[in-house]
Amino acid sequence: MEHAARRPLAPAGPTLHRARWRTAGRVAGLGGVLALVASLIVAGPAAASGSTRLYVSTAGSNSWPCTLARPCRTISHAIRVASAGSAITVEPGTYHEQVFITKRLTLRGFGATINASGLLGGLAPLKGMGIFGMAVLIAGPGAAGTVVEGFRIENAPAEGILAAQTSHVSLLFNDLFSNDKGATTHFSALPVECAEQGNVPGDCGEALHLLSVTSSRAIGNNVHDNVGGFLLTDEVGPTHDNVIASNVARNNKLDCGITLPSHNADAVAHPDKGGVYDNIVIDNLSVGNGGAGVGMFAPFPGAASYDNLVVDNTLLNNGEAGVAIHSHAPGQKVSGNVIVGNRISGNGIDPDFVNSTTHIGIAIGSVADSVSVKVVANSISHETVGIYLVGPIHAHGLSTNTFSSTVTHHVVKVA
C-alpha cells in the first residue's frame, strides 16, 4: 500500500488510499532466475572467523562476563560489551527491551522473545526524523553484515525489526507478531505518521522494514498479525539488491503483505539518492493481509519503485489485489518491474484505480506516465478480473498467463 509515514524528502501531497500459491508454472529462463536467486540466498554474508561468543540468559547478570557459565541478563548489555564480529546467543525466555545494533554482530535467539511493549527509545539521527519505538534496530554502515536469527519479536510501538542505512544484513527465521502497536494504540510521543489519517490507518513502518538498505536478505520469517508485513523504502537513500524470500506474511490486517514504495522525491533524477529497485521477492506466502499481497508504489512526483522481480510467490485472499503497481502523478518511475510465475487467488479490490467491488489478481495503474512491465506465466483463479490495466500501461507477456474458470474476465484494459 502507499505509505504516508516517514517521508522526510517527499513534498506534501494528497492522502492516498492504502494499497493492500507456490507456482508450478514456468517459462523459458525462469529456472535460471530461480537458480541465481538461490545462490544469492545461500551465499549471504560470511560469518566472522575467530569472533568472540557471548551469552545472554534471563537467569544471568549484567555484572557477569557474558560467558556460557556466567551469562549477561540483557541483550543490550551483551551488545554494548561485544566487539564487532562477535556472536551473541540469547537463551530462551522473554526480554523486555529494545535492541540497538550499530556494529557487525550475529544474534541468535531460538526460543528467545524480545517484547518491546511500551518502549519508545531510538537512536540519532533516526529519532530526530520521528523513527523510534522499534524492537530491534540495525543502523548505519558499521552494522553491515549483521545477522538476527530465530527470535520472536512482539508488541513494539513501531517496527518489530528496522534495518536503516546499512547493507548485507540477514534477517532469518524470526517470528514477528503484534508489532506496529502505535497505529492502533495511543502513544503521545509517537509521530503523527503513526496515527490514523481519516480512513487510512497509521503504519509506523510495518513489522519488518528495510529503510535505505542494500544487498540484504530476509528469509524464512513468519510475519503475522501486525498492522503490515514487510516494507522496503528509500527515505534517505536507495533500497536495492535485497532478497525477500521464503517468508510468510499473514493476517496483517490493515496494510499489505510485502510493500516496495518509494518515499523519496529525488529517486527518479538521482538513483544514488533514492529509489526502490533491483529487489527480488521470491517464494513468499502473502495471505489474508488487509492490503495487496505485494505492492510497488510511487505516490508523488520523483518517486521510483522499478526493476523489481516478483517471482514464484503465493498471493492468496488479501484485501486488495494480489499484486499492485501504482503510479499516481507525472514524473514517477514504476517501469521495469517483473511479475512472473506467481500463483494468485481470491484477492480483493484496487480502490485507487477501480471504483467498484471488482476483485483483481494483478492491478497496474498509472494516471500520467507510460509504464512498461512484464507479466509472465502467472496462474490466477477466483478473481473477477485476472489482470486489470489502467492508463498508459504496456504489459508484456500477457498471453503466457493462465486463468481458471473462476476468473470472470482474464485481462481488462482501461485507457
Q: What is residue 197's predicted lDDT score, i.e. its pLDDT?
A: 56
Q: What is residue 37's predicted lDDT score, i.e. its pLDDT?
A: 58
Residue 220: which region, alpha, beta or left (left: phi > 0; alpha: psi -120 to 50)? left
Angstrom distance (rounded) from CA 87 to CA 70: 16
The angle subtended at Cα 364 by Cα 203 and Cα 261, nearest 5°, is 30
Give the pLDDT of the chain (415 residues) as one tens digit per residue.
555 433 333 332 322 333 322 223 334 455 555 565 565 555 555 444 445 999 999 999 999 999 999 999 999 999 999 999 999 999 999 999 999 999 999 999 999 999 999 999 999 888 888 889 999 999 999 999 999 999 999 999 999 999 999 999 999 999 999 999 988 877 767 666 676 655 556 678 899 999 999 999 999 999 999 999 999 999 999 999 999 999 999 999 999 999 999 999 999 999 999 999 999 999 999 999 999 999 999 989 999 999 999 999 999 999 999 999 999 999 999 999 999 999 999 999 999 998 788 999 999 999 999 999 999 999 999 999 999 999 999 999 999 999 999 999 999 999 8
C-alpha radius of gyration, the chain, whole number: 21
* Pair 127, 112: CB distance under 8 Å: no
Angstrom distance (rounded) from CA 215 to CA 45: 10
Could you tell me the three cell numbers for 3?
505509505
- CB atoms inside a 10 Å sphere around CB 200: 18
Spatial neighbors of 61 by CB under 8 A, at least 6 apart, are 70, 72, 73
What 3-state class would DSSP assign to 141?
A: helix
* Pair 264, 3: CB distance under 8 Å: no
How much is the pTM? 0.91
**Helix, strand, coil percentages, rounded to 5, for the chain:** 10, 35, 55
Task: Please name the residue ranges forming H helices in 126-198.
Answer: none
Angstrom distance (rounded) from CA 221 to CA 235: 24
Q: What is residue 128's predicted lDDT score, i.e. its pLDDT?
A: 87
